[in-house]
Chains A and B, each alone.
Chain A
Amino acid sequence: DAKTTQPTSMDCAEGRAANLPCNHSTISGNEYVYWYRQIHSQGPQYIIHGLKNNETNEMASLIITEDRKSSTLILPHATLRDTAVYYCIVWRGSQGNLIFGKGTKLSVKP
């Protein structure tokens, strides 16, 4: 599975959009980009995933570049409850384990 690179930490003002970048330059054609987040002392929570098209759900939007070497997770109106560690994972989407890095610690500030 491809390796991902994320910033260690980011800050965002409450009510503003949080844009979390992820680089995955070695992604294979059959690998998906998954995003999870982990609020302190809880299990990881699935957010969204995509292959090559942009995706949106009730939690977030995922923008994948045309060459698929990077992506951005967008939380449109961040709240204090969005403070968490966000993990970008590249995975073929079937069987096998997810490989987590250290993620991005997002701090939403009032």
Chain B
Amino acid sequence: DTGVSQNPRHKITKRGQNVTFRCDPISEHNRLYWYRQTLGQGPEFLTYFQNEAQLEKSRLLSDRFSAERPKGSFSTLEIQRTEQGDSAMYLCASSFGQGARETQYFGPGTRLLVL
């Protein structure tokens, strides 16, 4: 399977702990996006990278959240000092951006539960 992969698929943690999620995009996709989805809502944008550069961050991305894409391939999303409100599905998407008309392809998501 050559789609977007995310690990872990599920994570349960206690409030105050740090968690890190990984996203492996489709090979050669230069753009990588992180979204968050809470129950009953559509996904909401968090941040995106073009190659290794983080180009945009949403106001949802508080200072407890940090994302990296060190070599322009896989990406990690870390949440420090987790809170119960961080419980959500974290989705990664990738695309090949070349001018107009790109398509974002999503991974299966990481479901986080903070107790």
A interface, CB within 8 angstroms of B: 30, 32, 34, 36, 41-46, 49, 85, 87, 92-103
A103 touches B106 (CB 8 A): no
Asked if A43 and B103 sit within 8 Å, CB to CB, the answer is: no
Q: A42-B108, A43-B109 are in contact. Are A49 and B45 (CB under 8 A)?
A: no
Question: Number of contact residues on B: which range applies?
Answer: 20 to 34
- Chain A interface mostly helix, strand, loop or mixed? loop
Complex interface: chain B residues within 8 A of A99 (CB): 45
Kindly identify which residue among A34, A41, A87, A92 contacts B100, using a CB–CB cutoff of 8 Å.
A92
B45 touches A45 (CB 8 A): no
For B111, what are the chain A residues with a Cβ–Cβ distance below 8 Å? 41
**Residue B22 at the A interface, CB < 8 A?**
no
Closest to B107 in A: A43
**Binding-face segment, B13-21, B36-44, B65-73, B74-82:** B36-44
Asked, given contacts A42-B109, A44-B106, A96-B56, whether A101 binds B100 with beta carbons under 8 Å apart, the answer is no
Residues on B with beta carbons closer than 8 Å to the beta carbon of A34: 103
Determine if B91 is an interface residue (Cβ-Cβ < 8 Å).
Answer: yes
Report yes or no: A93 in contact with B101, Cβ–Cβ below 8 A: yes
The 3 nearest A-B residue pairs measured at CB: A100-B42, A97-B45, A43-B106
Within 8 A of A (CB), among B26-65: 31, 33, 35, 40-45, 48, 50, 55-56, 58
- Complex partner residue of B56 from A97, A102, A103, CB under 8 angstroms: A97
Cβ–Cβ contact B104 & A98, under 8 A: yes
Q: Are A95 and B97 in contact (CB under 8 A)?
A: yes
B4 — which chain A residues lie within 8 A by C-beta? 43
Closest to A98 in B: B104
- Please indicate the chain B residues that have their CB under 8 angstroms from the CB of A95 in the complex: 31, 48, 50, 55, 97, 102
